[in-house]
Structure 1
Amino acid sequence: MHVPDGFLGVPTSVATGALAAVALGLALRGSRRELGELGAVRAGLTACFIFAAQMVNFPVAAGTSGHLLGGALAVALVGPWTAVLVMSCVLVVQALVFADGGVTALGTNILLMGVVGVGVATLVSYGVTAILGRRGRAVGRPVGRGGVIAASAAGAFVSVPTAAAAFCLLYAIGGAVPIPLGALTLAMVGTHLLIGVGEAVITAAVVGAVLAVRPDLVRLAGREGTPVTAVTLADGTVVLRSAVGGAASGVGVSSGGGASGDGADADVRRRAERPRLGRGTAVIALAATVVVAGGLSLFASTSPDGLEHVAGALGFAGSAVSPLVHTPLADYGIAGLGAVGTTLAGLFGVALTLGLGLLVVSGVRRGRPRGAGAVDDQPRPTEERR
């Protein structure tokens, strides 16, 4: 649902750009606490995976396709404020390098997908986990893996048609071609409800996969009262376990070494509050991203996406302009190279998005004041010894 240049008039584009700038300023400030827990690499990998996944259009109906927006997925993995930054990095690379979304419409796209989409996904997914958490506490059971997956899927499903409805409102304010608001809303929301189903399925699959192997890396799970427990084994090894499932990570504690008593407990708590991504996990995540961008993208549907389809049906597709349409990597390909060009463009986009994401979030983390790494709203680990 990338809005091109020309769909909205200049005053509306300037206004959405200003709103997006304000939202980014708030996100830069709000993400400091999240990034103190996450680390730059985790946020950067989330950004480049979403970029890769957006290359894979899936068929919807009647010659229409859709693709992952990714706001709900980013919220589940890295938190709402960082999700705004992640989505903005993806959209900047797409607009300036791949001519996907307009340059003057960049603020509009950040507002729709990076602010509205992320905001709605946050309200829905955290709302669902809160409800499930209250019910679970009533019977002495925390939110399980299925609850976290359902919450992220619900946020994903609702976020897509809501962003589409927000576009309709902007178009009613400053659209290039007069279109009845009712007809536009019916077409956009109806089409994007179907795309929202695909968004929910993809989001649930990715969140479920991460929960299965590293539940401590799903921030949506950690935020809803699922304690991380430090279990000291007979050999002195401390293993951090999450109620969502499995061992989160392990750290050896020598029974005769200097790391013991309160110092060891404090170290375990710090590690529990700030889950380490790990080199192996990072390599696996990057490999999966490369497979999506360089392989699965070759099987993407060539049908127009939801916005393009609606614009063509209602007669305002001709107002779109793109000053970057003839750039070397426009439309995620390289002229004359066919599938190889798509693969190379995808891999370059992954590298560029990862680099931009790391640059942005590393700058945010460096800007944190001393002591900002503490995560006061995170549940403290309890201790079990045997």
Structure 2
Amino acid sequence: MHVPDGFIDAPVSAVTGVVAAGAVAVSLRGARKELDERTAPLAGLVAAFIFAVQMLNFPVAAGTSGHLLGGALAAILVGPYTGVLCVSVVLLMQGILFADGGLTALGVNVLDMGITTTVVAYAIFRGLTGVLPRTRRSTTVASFVAALVSVPAAACVFTLLYWIGGTTDIPIGKVFTAMVGVHVLIGIGEALITALTVGAVLAVRPDLVHGARGLAAPLKLRVDGELVDAPARQPAPAPAAARSTRGFWAVGLVTALVLAGFVSFYASASPDGLEKVAADQGIDKKTEEHASKDSPLADYGVKDISDARLSGGLAGVIGVGVTVVVGSGVFYVLRRRRTQDTGAGTPADAPRAGESV
């Protein structure tokens, strides 16, 4: 759903840019409360993973494909504020390096793909987990529903922005019907990817899932015939915890590299939902050339490498590498700022009640 330059006029693009910048500023502040020594490295990995999976377009219907937006996945794994930043980093890397999504439309894309999906998904996820049993299965189900709804929600926001500032005169009813219809189908793919990923992380490291904090019930002991709370578990020593997190991070990074560098070659070549609707409805009549069209990595290929498999795979590996470096750098700085604000080793870094370690 990357919006190119020329779909939305300059005034609306400028306003969305200001809104997106404000939301990112708020998220930078909010993320400092979400990140700790375990989740800060994970946030950079989540950004890289979203970049990799976005290269895996999957077929939906009638010559149309879809790809992960990632807002729901990021919000559930690392928190809504950090999630907005993760998707924003991905969109920035895609726009600058790969000519994917317009630069003047960057605010539109951040608002649509980053903020809308994250906020909608996390609100639904929290609502569902508040009424469902606090189990891994119900958490996975909640992530499925949240991701499913977040995609057509983003389609609705794009339709609204197009209604306000579209550069072509197309009946808004047709745009709405086409956009929501195809993105409901894409939402099913988004929901499956999100639920499978969240479920996999819950199975091995539930303590790293922001949305699963407090999932484990307090341990009970029977004393003289009565159930009492067991003493709180002490966190693992810092070196051991760091080694464990590094192992998980390394496995996740290798997975992202394999997806982007190898599996992406087999992705669907059909246009994605927005591209298909734009072509069918005439929204793309005033599309502008991307400012980074001459980038060595434009269109997810490495310039001057003729072998398509090698070119695309190498571009994917470079993209994952750059995204994880930039994302990890941002979240490391935010983590350091939190440490400076609260003081290292303060209760702010301690596990919460009922939280696994």
Taking structure 2 as the reference length, what is the TM-score of the superposition?
Answer: 0.89
- Counterpart of 1:182? 173
Counterparts of 1:327 and 1:31 in 2: how far apart (Å)? 32
**1:36 Cα deviation (Å)?**
2.5
Counterparts of 2:148 and 2:319 in 1: how far apart (Å)? 26
Counterparts of 2:350 and 2:184 in 1: how far apart (Å)? 34
Deviations 1:111-170 (A, max 9, x none): 1111111000001111110111xxx3xxxxxx1111011011111000000001000000
Give, as a single letter, the amino acid of the residue that structure 2 aligns with 1:303: S
- Aligned ranges for residues 1-386 of structure 1 at < 5 Å? 1-36=1-36, 38-132=38-132, 136=133, 143-223=134-214, 225-227=215-217, 267-268=234-235, 278-321=245-288, 322-335=290-303, 336-368=306-338, 369-371=341-343, 374-375=347-348, 379-381=352-354
**1:287 Cα deviation (Å)?**
1.0
After superposition, the Cα gap between the structure-2 partners of 1:6 and 1:375, relative to the gap in structure 1 and judged at 3 Å, is same
User: What is the root-mean-square deviation of aligned Cα atoms in Å?
Assistant: 2.4
Give, as a single letter, the amino acid of the residue that structure 2 aligns with 1:330: A
Does the CA contact (< 8 Å) of 1:38 and 1:78 recur in 2?
no
Give, as a single letter, the amino acid of the residue that structure 2 aligns with 1:360: V
**1:378 Cα deviation (Å)?**
6.6
Give, as a single letter, the amino acid of the residue that structure 1 aligns with 2:45: L
Does the CA contact (< 8 Å) of 1:60 and 1:194 recur in 2?
yes
**1:275 Cα deviation (Å)?**
8.9
Deviations 1:63-83 (A, max 9, x none): 000000011111111011100
**1:38 Cα deviation (Å)?**
4.0
Does the CA contact (< 8 Å) of 2:57 and 2:65 recur in 1?
yes
Does the CA contact (< 8 Å) of 1:217 and 1:275 recur in 2?
no
Counterparts of 1:85 and 1:377 in 2: how far apart (Å)? 24
After superposition, the Cα gap between the structure-2 partners of 1:220 and 1:382, relative to the gap in structure 1 and judged at 3 Å, is closer
Paired residue secondary structure (2:99): coil
Deviations 1:85-106 (A, max 9, x none): 1011000000000001000111
- Counterpart of 1:241? none
**1:375 Cα deviation (Å)?**
4.5
**1:276 Cα deviation (Å)?**
7.6
Give, as a single letter, the amino acid of the residue that structure 2 aligns with 1:380: A
Give, as a single letter, the amino acid of the residue that structure 2 aligns with 1:32: R
**1:371 Cα deviation (Å)?**
4.0
Counterparts of 1:171 and 1:360 in 2: how far apart (Å)? 32
Aligned length: 339
**1:300 Cα deviation (Å)?**
0.7
Deviations 1:214-256 (A, max 9, x none): 2222221115x5347599xxxxxxxxxxxxxxxxxxxxxxxxx
Structure 2 alignment gaps of length 5 or more: 222-230
- Counterpart of 2:224? none
What's the % identity of the aligned pairs?
Answer: 49
Counterparts of 1:58 and 1:83 in 2: how far apart (Å)? 23
**1:51 Cα deviation (Å)?**
0.3
Give, as a single letter, the amino acid of the residue that structure 1 aligns with 2:110: I
Taking structure 1 as the reference length, what is the TM-score of the superposition?
Answer: 0.83
Counterparts of 1:38 and 1:69 in 2: how far apart (Å)? 24
Paired residue secondary structure (2:300): coil
Which structure has the highest helix share of the two? 2
Counterparts of 2:254 and 2:329 in 1: how far apart (Å)? 21
**1:360 Cα deviation (Å)?**
0.9
Structure 1 alignment gaps of length 5 or more: 137-142, 232-261
After superposition, the Cα gap between the structure-2 partners of 1:185 and 1:38, relative to the gap in structure 1 and judged at 3 Å, is farther
Counterparts of 1:193 and 1:47 in 2: how far apart (Å)? 24
Counterparts of 1:266 and 1:29 in 2: how far apart (Å)? 30
After superposition, the Cα gap between the structure-2 partners of 1:334 and 1:267, relative to the gap in structure 1 and judged at 3 Å, is same
Does the CA contact (< 8 Å) of 1:157 and 1:196 recur in 2?
yes
